[in-house]
Amino acid sequence: MRVQVIFRVVAAALFGTLALAAGPAAAADRPLTIVALGDSLTAGYGLPGQDAFPAKLQRALAAKGIVATVRNAGVSGDTMSGGLARLDWSVPPETDAVILELGANDALRGLDPAVTRRALDAILAALARRNIPVLLCGMLAPRNLGADFARAFDPMFPELARTYGAVLYPFFLDGVAGDAKLNQADGLHPSAAGIDVIVAKILPRVEELIARVRAKQGTRQGT
């Protein structure tokens, strides 16, 4: 009887140790849910669904062995305030990370940058309270709106990224804006080839975002 008791104690300790060791690894293997919260640039305006940014990003991650679902929460025409208004239902509880791409319509419409900034601040604050890591995609104001507008608009993205510790991708349309070969006929929305450029350029920042998610999961497993 005593031998059986000792065996049970040893077995429990062994399996407990193995479970603890497997915990972080199991978390690292779990598929991630990433929500791409944005406007038409995320939604894939003028493109088939498989050519939209979230779908192509998901395939690029899979090619690197990263299993993730990138949900398309893009709404064409949306502003930063619009994104704030739908934040709770666009970013469900199971979300591991958010790629935030909003602001282009605010700039194109010449909306008061102070209003855009308050909405962006509120979005980042809400996601921080939910402990959801964020990749913030910056936007630049059209230069025909004047230097004062650009000085008020452009810096909000890096400044608020620093405030909230978000990963920053300085300009979502980097390498694509102004290139007719990479845009649709309207000159504003990327073509499928343009989305390929965006995905290739932003991918290292997305991997940084995922590393933060994994680190958070590991910390949670260790507590």
pLDDT in the model for residue 219: 67
Note if 90 is an active site residue: no
Catalytic residue selected from 39, 40, 106, 191: 40
Q: What is the dihedral of CA 35, 36, 39, 40, to 10 degrees?
A: -120
Note if 191 is an active site residue: no
**Global confidence as pTM:** 0.86
Note if 186 is an active site residue: yes
Which helix (H) or strand (E) covers residue 35, if one does?
strand 32-38
pLDDT in the model for residue 218: 83
Bridge partners (DSSP) listed for residue 32: 68
pLDDT per residue over 164-201, tens digit each?
Answer: 999 999 999 999 999 999 999 999 999 999 999 999 99
Q: What is the dihedral of CA 74, 178, 193, 90, to 10 degrees?
A: -10
Question: DSSP label at 67?
Answer: -
**103, 119, 138 from 160: Cα distances, Å:** 13, 11, 10
The domain 31-222 is classified under which CATH number: 3.40.390.10, 3.40.50.1110, 3.30.870.10, 3.30.390.30? Answer: 3.40.50.1110
Domain ranges of the chain: 1-30, 31-222
**What's the first-to-final CA gap in the chain, in angstroms?**
35
Catalytic residue selected from 39, 90, 189, 191: 189
pLDDT per residue over 111-142, tens digit each?
Answer: 999 999 999 999 999 999 999 999 999 999 99
